[in-house]
Structure 1
Amino acid sequence: MSERGIKRREFVKAAVAIGGSAALSACLDRNGAPDVPQGPDDLSTLPDRQHAWNGALSTDDHGNVLPARHQVLLYLNYAGSGTPTAAERETVETAFRSLERAYRRRNDGLLFSVGYSPSYFDRFPESLPDSVDLPSPSALAPFEDPTFDRQDAVVHLASDHAAVALAAEEALLGEKTELNGVEMAASLSGVLQKADRRTGFVGAGLPADNQDVQGIPNSEPVPEESPLYMGFKSGFEKNQASEDRVTIREGPFAGGATQHVSKIRLHLDQWYEQDSREQRVAKMFCPAHAAEDRVEGVGENLGDDSGMDEKCTENVADRARERGMVGHSQKSATVREDDSPLILRRDFDSTDGGEAGLHFVSLQRAIGDFEDTRTAMNGTDVAEKSSVGQRLNNGILQYMTVERRGNFLLPPRSKRSLPSPA
């Protein structure tokens, strides 16, 4: 990678992190406007599932879905009092439809979704139907004390082009009236107000180019080919739930999904400076992977499956006693239904606040599916039956702190604009 290329990727990350019209202008001045086709005139051709991104994303040589490289989480609060009006719903829907007309629905265009929190639905006299499992967020481990995100809504924007994600955000907030040659017929301004924004990136080269932050040692240990800060691939196809699996099947929100979003701070000094390569493989995947040298580089050789066979998943507590540690993927693989994982991950790294972080975005049919998976990740049962600690040598728990948690409902597209519970 040339020095010029590294500086360009650092600049793009910084522009997304800063946000606003000045950052967008600087990004366009430096890199030019990306050549992105407009979206369709007939929006009925788009899928009704907001979370149906996989068919619009690229894949690698093994069929694993590759996430869009630049991402923004835009948190919003309802600006009105009482419950939203029909006119406000129409305004919000018009804004979202303008985005869809401006950019084609692809990773090299724009993908986005909007979710609503339990706090949003609390303003209505009626309750959510039993077909929607959307509890208020809570601490999900005995060792965490997160702040809970109770903003009304979150819009998730994703694109391979930083300028596209930034321009879409500005247009939604009413700061741009034209987008990729398409007039913004409305914005969210006056109906939904910005409460917070979080940003990040994922993909080979980006973590390595943006590792000069707190939480990563000065030795610049993140491999150039790694898509994430911890130095390994994730999102193997066979270790992800399908979009069908995470879709709500009945009730007024059939075709939607639930979304959990965590903000996690990473502490990778020991990970890279003290732990050996063998220890990192054992803790990320499984001790058997390390003992048998199954993982090459960042794990590209694993194909579409992290390889959690019976040496990893059978009698996990007994194996933890033998090895003195348990792997992250090893624990996660124990939570399946009909041989399928319960959650679909769409997480990405971050330098928000000058710290190495991870925004863990999880889709599932019910929030309870995420909570069950998280219980397995905690490894509390393994710690009680072996020398493995509650965090020490217990997967990758000791290298991260959960700072925030939030739960949201992603309605189908047809009901995405300020929905009522019914």
Structure 2
Amino acid sequence: MNPSRNGGVSRRAFVKAAVAIGGTAALSACLGREEPDLSTGPDDPASLPDRQHAWNAALPTDDHGNDVPPRHHALVQFDYDDDTPTAADREAVEAALRSVERAYPHSNEGLLLTVGYSPAYFDRFDDALPDSVDLLEPQALAPFEDPDLDTADVAVHLASDYGSVVLGVEEALRGEREKVNGVAVSGFPDALSRVDRRTGFIGDGLPAENQDVAGIPDSEPVPEDAPMYMGFKSGFEKSQASEDSVTITEGPFAGGTTQQVSKIRLNLQQWYEQDDRFHRVATMFCPAHAEEGAVEGTGENLGNSNGMEAHGCPAHASEDAESGVVGHAQKNARARRDGEPLLLRRDFDSTDDDQATVHFLSLQAGITDFVTTRSMMNGTDLAADGAVGQRTNNGILQYMTVERRGNYLIPPRAHRALPTPRPA
């Protein structure tokens, strides 16, 4: 039973709500509930990995070797209000980032962050990005979607098991706090103004505790131990690209990556109230998984792989589509390079705007890899020749609406502060 409907609010649900609200009052309330006792970060943040996106070594793993992501997230977007960045503003941005990194350990229990820059940010410069950077403009990627396209210059992704860390660092970067975790911090320069913030969570139990929102039936159907709203585990090790494979290897941004963020609304009324368990497994994973009873509960029994190859799912996609159902993971498994996935997912659920939401965040060597994967997920080729519809019985497309999409370059740490397209 969701605590918010039972008259009480659990600590975890309270922290989630505080992160979503944001601000000084929410931070104070969150600190009162969490009472984190954390060590500080490295004296010299230059000792941190050159890759901003190098998080995996700092994450715990479950019993099967899958990385366990931080529980609380915020994606904060800023515009740079001047024409081109000044040296003083670059120094101020780097000083602010280093100050919050000194405040917390580089881990899930401390702080993990990335700073990315959009095509709109780089448009202000005369020089173009080098050919080694594949940063496409965001766009609609299916005939049935019409998302608003993000044009904010900067996106800062903050993640921690403690909501108070996420809130405190956001406040610090905005110049609203002088200390976090007992460490003096500085904020971004005035030329960086916040234009949007998105928040969320991932982890066993959090979706069930936060299902009192639009898009989820009133019957509170989300399983108590599910890590995401749709009731199944994700982020299997063998379904994730490695950090090495999503890293840019050449040019001035070698060591960086690209980031794609889609804001996706969920409508799970039919998913939970009309579709049976067999159908949910078939459309999330693969019809073979449903027929063979391969998925127990949320899928924890699958270990470190969603079992696509073991059950022959990608090879049977056309055949299954002709029979009337094709799976989401089954379609995505067709997007591979040398047998490996193209995307490293770091997405999370959300109650932004009191609507069940997924902020689908992926890292890839170039945005073209995301476009390729999304094309496979759309299954347009399967719908053209099979019995599935453009969205109906075509994976989980009918339960999702993409509202916003943005693309970003995540530079290596040396160039993360307001970079030019051709840094020295």
For Structure 1 versus Structure 2, the TM-score category normalised by the shorter chain is over 0.9
Q: 1:14 aligns with which of 10, 17, 22?
A: 17
1:253 aligns with 2:247: no
In 1: Cα distance, 2:267 partner to 2:34 partner: 33
Aligned to 2:140: 139
1:15-414, aligned counterparts within 5 Å? Answer: 15-32=18-35, 34-80=36-82, 82-184=83-185, 186-309=186-309, 311-322=312-323, 324-414=324-414
Per-residue Cα deviation, 1:98-156 (whole angstroms, up to 9, x for no partner): 01100010000000000000000000010000000111100000000000000001000
- Cα distance, 1:6 vs structure 2: 5.2
Q: C-alpha deviations, 1:295-340, integer Å up to 9, x for none?
A: 0000000000000025311142122213x11000000001100110
Report the CA distance between 1:2 and its aligned residue. Answer: 11
Assess if the C-alpha contact under 8 Å between 2:222 and 2:229 holds in 1.
Answer: yes
Q: Kindly state the Cα deviation for residue 42 of structure 1 after the two structures are TM-superposed.
A: 2.4
1:176 and 1:398 mapped to 2: Cα distance?
43
Q: Counterpart of 1:112 in 2: which secondary structure?
A: strand
Q: How many Å separate the matches in 2 of 1:9 and 1:87?
A: 40
- Cα distance in 2 for partners of 1:365, 1:407 equals 12
Amino acid at match of 1:202: I
Whole-angstrom distance in 2 between the partners of 1:335 and 1:118? 25
Mapped to 2, the partners of 1:408 and 1:173 lie a distance apart of 21
CA distance in 2, matches of 1:76, 1:36: 28
Query: Hey, what's the Cα distance between the residues in 2 that align with 1:10 and 1:316?
Result: 39
Given the two structures, how large is their TM-score scaled by the length of structure 2?
Answer: 0.97
CA distance in 2, matches of 1:175, 1:315: 55
TM-score w.r.t. the length of structure 1 is 0.97
Task: Give 1:134's aligned amino acid.
Answer: L
Q: Distance in 2 between matches of 1:44 and 1:290?
A: 49
| 1:352-375 alpha-carbon deviations (Å, 9 max, x no partner) | 000000000000000000000000
* CA–CA separation in structure 1 for the residues paired with 2:339 and 2:170: 39
Q: Distance in 2 between matches of 1:285 and 1:318?
A: 15
**More deviation in 4-13 or 14-23?**
4-13
Q: Secondary structure of 1:390's match? A: coil
Tell me the amino acid that sits aligned with residue 260 of structure 2: H
Partners of 1:55 and 1:69 lie apart in 2 by 16
SS of the aligned residue for 1:311 comes to coil
From the superposition, tell whether residues 239 and 2 of structure 1 become closer, same or farther in structure 2 (CA, over 3 Å): closer
* Residue 224 (structure 1) shift: 1.0
Query: How far did residue 44 of structure 1 move?
Result: 2.7
Return the alpha-carbon distance in structure 2 between the equivalents of residues 123 and 68 of structure 1: 34
CA distance in 1, matches of 2:8, 2:241: 35
Aligned letter for 1:14?
A
Deviation of the 1:5 alpha carbon: 8.6
- Which whole-Å CA distance do the structure 2 matches of 1:74 and 1:115 have between them? 10
**Could you tell which deviates more after superposition, 19-28 or 344-353?**
19-28
Q: Render the CA deviation track for 1:210-268: whole Å, top value 9, x for unaligned.
A: 00000000110101111000000000000000000000000000000000000000000
Give the secondary-structure state (helix, strand or coil) at the position aligned to 1:314. Answer: helix
2:2 and 2:208 in contact (8 A); partners too: no
Task: Output the CA distance in 1 between the equivalents of 2:10 and 2:42.
Answer: 35
1:30 Cα shift? 3.3
Alignment RMSD (CA, Å): 1.3
Letter in 2 for 1:121: F
Q: Once structures 1 and 2 are overlaid, which stretch shifts more, 306-315 or 250-259?
A: 306-315
Q: Per-residue deviation at 1:92?
A: 0.3
Q: Secondary structure at the match of 2:91?
A: helix
Query: Partners of 2:111 and 2:8 in 1: how far apart?
Result: 23
Cα 1:5/1:36, change in 2 over 3 Å: farther
Aligned partners of 2:2 and 2:212 also within 8 Å: no
Q: In 2, Cα distance between the equivalents of 1:51 and 1:133?
A: 17
SS in 2 for 1:158: strand
Partners of 1:295 and 1:411 in 2: how far apart? 39
- The amino acid that maps onto 1:27 is C
SS for the counterpart of 2:167 is helix
Write the distance in 2 (CA, Å) between the matches of 1:55 and 1:191. 34
SS of corresponding position for 1:403:
strand
Whole-Å Cα distance in 1 between the matches of residues 288 and 269 of structure 2? 24
> For each residue in 1:40-76, what CA deviation from the matched residue of structure 2 results, as whole angstroms up to 9, or x when unmatched?
1122321010000111111100000111000000000
